Amino acid sequence: MTHDTPLSPRPLHHLADGRRRLMTAAQLRTHGVSAAETTEQCRPGGPWQQLLPHVVLLHPGPPTSEERLHAVLMYAARERTAVAAGGAPAGVTASVPVQPGGRGTPAYAEAMITGLAALTLHGFSTSPPLPSLDVIDVLVPRLRRLRTTGCARVVRTTALPTAQQVTGVPVAPVARALADAVAELTDAGALRRLLTEAVRGGHCEPAAVVRELNRARLLSRPHVVDAVDSLVAEGRALAEQRLYRTVREHGLPEPVWNVDLRLPGGPRIGGVDAYWPEHAVALELDPRAHRQHGDDALWAEHARKREHLERLGITVVHLTPRKLRDCPEHQATVVRTALMTAAEREPAAYVVVLPR
């Protein structure tokens, strides 16, 4: 018996039964379809068509967006041994145990949609609709032996993130999908719109996007740097709005906002986002959402300022934009606790408060 010999010959019409719209060559062999029969069915004008190497669409006419997504995943997914019960016979490999349109969720090993297609699946309005995409990016481990072909563009990574399931499709997290989209974008306006929507739409925090862009070595591109500056400013403005709302909605005393602290007649200590002079409590938003190549110096400066303030008897509360977004009530409790315990501490040194 050769590799292409049918295992259990059956009529071919049972394969295109409305549920099975895509199959790999390995899956077709488990249904008794030889390589020669597959080639015959995929001839011009035939009932099937080969969308990608070893991936066959079991009907004529253009594929749907769903079919293209699953075809790309079937092409890129590492094949695994199927279980004898309810799947292919033991010892026969199959990429996808359940077909798109059938019951259950297809299982794709070591492959997920990324880039613009992933952002569209995540609900971005500024990414193109799926039918307009000529290629669909698929993320795989770096050592996989795959090539970009047809509508599948292979993107490699040394560390595959945990996929998120969106309408039954494994999709890269937003920050990673953004980085992969940015790698292919030269339109500064489109790039800026995507990054702005990521923050305004609450899809992810600026720091997560910047980390991924830095990891992909994209922060040396001028149009990316400009877009990131806008992203950081956008994220900062949103975080400040959340902070104002948290203070007011949870009945905290009104602080003085965005001020510089100095010693009387002495040097500048540093700026803080909010300060309660009567309680000697300062609040700072996480400063690490800036370009990563400056993070070490930025964080060292932040740590120096915090130590200086604490030596002066000033309590420093550190909040992150993400926590302000996800659990503002808890963050309000953190601030309230710092204010309430002020009377139990030694009096703080006097500092001069100036507008920043």
Query: How far is C-alpha 81 from the geometric centre of its chain's CA atoms?
Result: 30
The larger pLDDT score, comparing residue 20 to residue 239, is at 239
What does DSSP say about strands 136-141 and 152-157: parallel, antiparallel, or unpaired? Answer: parallel
- pLDDT class of 13 with cuts at 50, 70, 90: low
The number of residues in the chain equals 356
Spatial neighbors of 180 by CB under 8 A, at least 6 apart, are: 114, 115, 118, 137, 139, 155, 172, 216
Position 301 scores a pLDDT of 78
Spatial neighbors of 321 by CB under 8 A, at least 6 apart, are: 205, 206, 207, 235, 238, 239, 242, 285, 286, 289
Least confident of 12-16, 113-117, 237-241, 334-338: 12-16
Query: Which bin fits 81, alpha (ψ -120 to 50), beta or left (φ > 0)?
Result: beta
Q: What mean pLDDT do residues 79-91 have?
A: 38
- pLDDT class of 96 with cuts at 50, 70, 90: very low
User: 287 pLDDT exceeds 90?
Assistant: no
206-215 vs 174-182: helix crossing angle, rounded to 10: 50
Which residue has 């002066």 as its token pair? 312
- The answer, as to whether pTM is greater than 0.75, is no
Distance in angstroms (rounded) separating the CA atoms of residues 18 and 59 = 10
Q: Which CATH number fits domain 244-355: 1.10.1740, 3.90.550, 3.40.960, 3.30.360?
A: 3.40.960
Question: Where are the domains positioned within the chain?
Answer: 1-105, 244-355
Strand partners, 155: 139
